[in-house]
A = this chain, B = another copy of it.
Amino acid sequence: MINERVMATYLIETPYTLEHAAAVMAGEQSTGTFVSVPGETAELKETYGAQVVSITELEPVHQPTLPGAKRLDTEQSGVYRRGEVVLSFPYHNFGPSIPNLLATVAGNLYELQEFSGLRLIDLKLPEVFMEKYLGPQFGIEGTRRLTKVYERPLIGTIIKPSIGLSLEDLRVLVLSLAQSGIDFIKDDELNANPPYAPLEARVKVVMEEIERVADKTGKKVMYAFNITGDIDELRENHDTVVKAGGNCVMVGINSIGYAGVAYLRNYSQVPIHGHRNQWGAMTRCPLLGMDFRVYQKLCRLAGVDHLHTNGINSKFYESNASVIRSVEECLTPMFGDDTVLPVLSSGQWAGSAIESYKTMKTKDLIHLAGGGIMAHPSGIEAGVNSMKQGWEAAMNGFSLEDYAKTHSELAHAIEKFSHGK
Q: Which of A56-95 contact B (CB under 8 A)?
A: 66-70, 72, 91-95
A-side interface size class: 35 or more
Binds B, one of A142-150, A190-198, A331-339, A386-394: A190-198
Tell which of B47, B162, B163, B231 touches A263, judged by Cβ atoms closer than 8 Å. B231
- Please determine whether B190 and A278 come into contact, CB atoms closer than 8 angstroms: no
Does chain B have a CB within 8 A of A167?
Answer: no
Q: In the complex the two chains form, is A97's CB within 8 Å of B284's CB?
A: no
A243 at the binding interface (Cβ < 8 Å)? no
Give A22-53 interface residues, CB cut-off 8 Å to B: 29-40, 44-45, 47-48
Q: Of all chain B residues, which has the CB nearest A50?
A: B163
CA–CA, A255 and B190, complex, Å: 23
**Quick check: A99 and B255 within 8 Å, CB to CB?**
yes
Bound: A164/B45 CA distance, A: 8
Question: Is residue A259 contacting chain B, with contact meaning CB distance below 8 A?
Answer: yes
Whole-angstrom distance between the alpha carbons of A262 and B255 in the complex?
12
Residues A268-305 near B (CB distance < 8 A): 277-282, 284-286, 288-290
Q: Judging by beta carbons under 8 Å apart, are A263 and B103 in contact?
A: no
A-B contact list, 20 entries, CB within 8 Å: A33-B162, A34-B347, A35-B417, A37-B160, A37-B371, A45-B164, A66-B317, A91-B195, A95-B193, A99-B252, A100-B192, A100-B255, A106-B277, A107-B189, A108-B316, A110-B278, A110-B281, A231-B231, A231-B263, A232-B263
